[in-house]
Structure 1
Amino acid sequence: MPRQPLNDLVVVLPGIMGSRLADADENEVWGLSGAALWRGIRTLGRSIGGLTLPHDLGDDHPGDGVRATGVLSDLHALPGRWALVDGYTGLLDWLERGFTLSRRFPGQPAAVPTNLLPFPYDWRLSCRYNAGLLKATVEEELDRWRASAAARKDARVTFVCHSMGGLIARFYVECLGGHEITRRLITLGTPHRGSLDALEALVNGHSVGPRRLRAALTRFARSLPSLHQLTPDYACLTTGKALLYARELPTALPGVDEKLLHDAGAFHAAIREAAEARTKGAADPAFVPFVGVLQPTATTATRSDDGERLITSTAVGSRTEGGDGTVPRLSAHPPGATAGHTPCERHGSLQVNRGVRDALWNLLAPEPAYHRGPEDEPVRLGVDAPDFVAADGTYELTATVPPDAPGGDELALRATLRPADGGLESRRTLRNHGEGQYSVTFPGPLNPGPYRVTVEAAGRPDSAVTALLLAGDHESDA
């Protein structure tokens, strides 16, 4: 198929921890990904202290010389927990193959006009700070692109953003004037109203690996303005019969910087208020969220009896909203957004999901290429799988089909476990327990490192849901 014409500037923003970081001497200080992830994590505690941010940094840079050098290409992990996320090179390659888009090659002068722009950023810092950098970068690149040919003089910007990258782009669009040059804002699993996973990471701390590593990662995570800006901006904590915002609690949560927590509320409020105040017109950018659904997702929580930990729940009252396993559905689709795509996919793999790419194609191409008829009724799977297992243990996952899905209790489901380094894969059939409930167990031992686990219905590759796994040593007291 020939490349589809696309004259706009397309900007791709990764999520938190999805950018490589280097220090002032060009030494890489964050770049753990792929097969080397677990080996690097084991020694990370020795260097993470240098990335920890000072108290009361606010929206500034700490002046430590750290800068972003590129996006990560393979599996990487979120701070404070091992919730793996896939890389972004595959998405960039797919965009370049399918559309008339081109990236700037290493060594090419910055003056060379390009219209596919990955935007790596120092994910430790405030989303406001990074939105300011995005503004300067995007407006310079768009001016250069428009000036490079007469046919490009009316080009605008399309943002494709994963997770926290969508908050940075949205703050630029709504609060820093970006709506004037933006055609589309596409977000994949962005926590527009926050994620309980972020709050749990701050309160409960890191729980896997040697004691020194856990302590170092916990201190690091608690210093980040960005991680506080990912905490829920909705009433998520059960106190008696009522749900409260974290910032409304009568006693502070341990591990949470109260100043940063209240500032995070102001950050989200600024986006909402700017969007509501702005006069909408025909040239207003389309805001299209992609929202992962049906995956068990922590949505509310209660405090433990001693008040020192959070105990999470996937339910809101009597309802289970679901989401992508990290971001609740209610957060990924904020009020005012266009009805977006709702893939059955987990958070870390949204950017590599086949259905997500089909929907992206239909948004970006002049003529939609993908049409689904009644015979292509999707198989909707929810997958519940751990992010981390001991390498000497077993790996178990469950899959659920909604009760209203025709034939949902008669599917032939299979799971494929693939090492990230391309080693031998293992495939097993899920056991059918009836009423849409399935399970499978992969016996250990597993080689330490990251894995991709794909669950799909036989003959229906479009049904695939990808769970990401890190196998390692359970050294709790080292």
Structure 2
Amino acid sequence: MTKPPQSNPGRSPAGSPRLHPEVVPAVTHDAVVIVPGIMGSELYDAVTGRVLWGLAHPQWLARAWLSRDGLAPLHLTPEEQDGTFGRVQARRLLRAPAWSPFLRGIEPYHKLTRAIEETVADPAAIMPFPYDWRLPVAVNARLLAAEARKHLEQWRRHPAHAAARRRAVDEREGRLVFVAHSMGGLVTRAALTLGHDSELEADTRGVMTLGTPFGGSVVAANILNSVQGAPLPLPHSRLAALASTMPGVHDLLPRFVCLEEGSGARRLTPSDVGALGGDEELAKASLEFFAHLSGREMPGHRSVAGIRQDTVQSLRLDNGTVRASEYCFRSHGNGELMRDDDGVARRFQAWGDGTVHRHSASLRPGAIPIALQHGALASGRAARQTVVDFLLEEDDLGPDQADEGLGLTVPDYVTTGSPWSLRITGTDDPAGIDCTVEAVDGGVRREVRPYAGDGDALSADVELPAAGLYRVTVEADRLPSPLTQLLFAGPGDTRTPQD
């Protein structure tokens, strides 16, 4: 067999001049800033040097959520509540999978970072921005604006920028591109509009947000309600006690029409937040802050929204207990709530990414839909490909199209030794569907067989033998990227008389 001719962009094997023009590499000469979501940054105590959130050892999660003082250092001190910060520092982006009640799996950012590294002119063009996610969005926005400015100036002085610029359209200077996941999109938006750098917006080519709750999320109300709501496993009450003083969680509360009352619905008020277990003053400050952001656009903004995943979108308050539902409400152009012939508010199913519902994840129509869970929107293959394509754009090509896709629903906390079920939505045919449940540390792996359940969905029954963090993965030929979700397995009753 004759070997095909080998190409070489430089010189031929005989040393003669190359026969074809050089192919310009597909890279961007812009500076990229990666902004993670809530709980996506490793935090440590600047005084003791102790890591408070983000250890890689799997047993750390059990100690954090199931021991009495596991999360105590993360609670805001009176000084921090008064605005004196610095005790807790953000060291780097999350390096290992983590878990939190209601927020469920928190995926690390190394896959996203690696994809971006392969797309920039030099690794020096990338700046991860870890931040103390406990604090108000406004505080982190000011820090991001300052760090992004410094990063852009350093990159423009870098030799790799000068070389890459010569291959750019009109040889323009590199600008900033922000890639922001979840809460990171709120921080980015505030940094560009209220970050005290009047030139930052002009120096930004684009912003891609991945599952950012621009309108907030009902999940935040669930978190704050755990203390006084229906009895829940210990990790949930631990999180509620932590979140009740955290401005960052209050900045995630829903600001859309979501509170169902009688035949209608309305927005949450600060007094509602106080009634469900949050802090009324923090809620008021958050509403005022986002009112300043209202109507502010981000340059070259492209949003990615998770779809087809069961997502809470509205709630009722029943004697202080949140009853969340997986439907939402819509309003006409004049602001009037859409109602049926009997005057009852119409309910709509919008789905989402399991944490942020579809409409909250974009500031305007035209978001890129990807059938992934919230945590995987910054790590899944389809999301990474979308980010890379965005980085390489010179012009706005418009949003991609997506198939309807499948959805995955799992509990966020399960009891060891007890059976539980997962749900795969979007199909009732198990053929070609592969589903596994595997311990993150590799100690346990279960292949589960989905079966046809009620309606357009599949179910699968699972039982786990040991406590720890597990990953559920669903693969199918029709999926551009596997569906994944993290869940935590622990004892059934971890409460003590003092809890």
Give TM class, smaller chain: 0.7 to 0.9
Structure 1 contact 174–271 (Cα < 8 Å) conserved: yes
Deviation at 1:389?
0.5
Please point out which of 400, 419, 432 is paired with 1:412. Answer: 432
Instruction: Give the match for residue 422 of structure 1.
Output: 442
CA distance in 2, matches of 1:71, 1:95: 14
Letter in 2 for 1:398: R
Instruction: Give the match for residue 131 of structure 2.
Output: 121
Output aligned runs, 1:262-281, within 5 Å.
Answer: 262-275=284-297
Q: Is 1:74 matched up with 2:84? A: no
Instruction: Give the match for residue 143 of structure 1.
Output: 153
Instruction: Give the match for residue 100 of structure 1.
Output: 121
CA distance in 1, matches of 2:482, 2:325: 25
Letter in 1 for 2:278: V
Structure 2 contact 119–391 (Cα < 8 Å) conserved: no
Q: Is 1:321 matched up with 2:347? A: no
Deviation at 1:37?
4.2
Instruction: Give the match for residue 311 of structure 1.
Output: 323
Letter in 1 for 2:299: P
CA distance in 2, matches of 1:400, 1:181: 43
Deviation at 1:386?
0.8
Describe the SS at the equivalent of 1:234.
coil
Instruction: Give the match for residue 398 of structure 1.
Output: 423
Post-superposition Cα deviations, 1:46-101, rounded to whole Å, max 9, x if no partner, equal 153332124695683445x21111111121134x6461211112211222134434
Output aligned runs, 1:292-371, within 5 Å.
Answer: 292-304=306-318, 307-316=319-328, 317-335=346-364, 339-365=366-392
**RMSD across aligned C-alpha pairs, in angstroms?**
3.0
User: Residues 217 and 437 from structure 1, CA distance in 2 versus in 1: closer, same or farther, beyond 3 angstroms?
Assistant: closer
CA distance in 2, matches of 1:37, 1:208: 21
Identity in percent: 29
Deviation at 1:466?
1.1
Deviation at 1:220?
1.5
User: Residues 69 and 231 from structure 1, CA distance in 2 versus in 1: closer, same or farther, beyond 3 angstroms?
Assistant: same
CA distance in 2, matches of 1:235, 1:34: 41
CA distance in 2, matches of 1:467, 1:30: 20
CA distance in 1, matches of 2:392, 2:85: 42
Instruction: Give the match for residue 218 of structure 2.
Output: 196
Post-superposition Cα deviations, 1:209-249, rounded to whole Å, max 9, x if no partner, equal 55xx6655432210100000000011111111221211176
Instruction: Give the match for residue 386 of structure 1.
Output: 411
User: Residues 81 and 34 from structure 1, CA distance in 2 versus in 1: closer, same or farther, beyond 3 angstroms?
Assistant: farther
Gaps of 5+ in 1: 103-113, 276-283, 403-407
Instruction: Give the match for residue 104 of structure 2.
Output: 83
Instruction: Give the match for residue 36 of structure 2.
Output: 14
CA distance in 2, matches of 1:265, 1:348: 26
Deviation at 1:201?
0.7
Describe the SS at the equivalent of 1:77.
strand
CA distance in 2, matches of 1:56, 1:268: 24
CA distance in 2, matches of 1:436, 1:378: 16
CA distance in 2, matches of 1:56, 1:355: 43
Describe the SS at the equivalent of 2:355.
coil
For this pair of structures, how many residues does the alignment match?
440
CA distance in 1, matches of 2:426, 2:215: 27
Gaps of 5+ in 2: 1-22, 166-171, 329-345
User: Residues 227 and 462 from structure 1, CA distance in 2 versus in 1: closer, same or farther, beyond 3 angstroms?
Assistant: same
Post-superposition Cα deviations, 1:244-297, rounded to whole Å, max 9, x if no partner, equal 21117679423111111122112222222443xxxxxxxx72111110011110
Structure 2 contact 258–266 (Cα < 8 Å) conserved: yes
Deviation at 1:208?
5.2
Instruction: Give the match for residue 456 of structure 1.
Output: 475
Deviation at 1:340?
2.9
User: Residues 379 and 447 from structure 1, CA distance in 2 versus in 1: closer, same or farther, beyond 3 angstroms?
Assistant: farther
Output aligned runs, 1:201-240, within 5 Å.
Answer: 201-205=223-227, 209-210=233-234, 216-240=238-262
Instruction: Give the match for residue 488 of structure 2.
Output: 470
Describe the SS at the equivalent of 1:355.
helix
Structure 2 contact 434–475 (Cα < 8 Å) conserved: yes
Structure 1 contact 54–62 (Cα < 8 Å) conserved: no
Deviation at 1:204?
2.5
User: Residues 156 and 362 from structure 1, CA distance in 2 versus in 1: closer, same or farther, beyond 3 angstroms?
Assistant: same
After TM superposition, the score normalised by the length of structure 2 is 0.80
Structure 2 contact 270–283 (Cα < 8 Å) conserved: no
Deviation at 1:193?
0.4
Q: Is 1:38 matched up with 2:61? A: yes
Structure 1 contact 453–466 (Cα < 8 Å) conserved: yes
CA distance in 2, matches of 1:233, 1:293: 20
User: Residues 461 and 453 from structure 1, CA distance in 2 versus in 1: closer, same or farther, beyond 3 angstroms?
Assistant: same
Q: Whose Rg is larger?
A: 2
User: Residues 291 and 216 from structure 1, CA distance in 2 versus in 1: closer, same or farther, beyond 3 angstroms?
Assistant: closer
Letter in 1 for 2:483: V
Post-superposition Cα deviations, 1:299-350, rounded to whole Å, max 9, x if no partner, equal 000012xx12100000124211110010011100122x6x232111111111
CA distance in 1, matches of 2:111, 2:263: 46
Output aligned runs, 1:161-172, within 5 Å.
Answer: 161-172=180-191
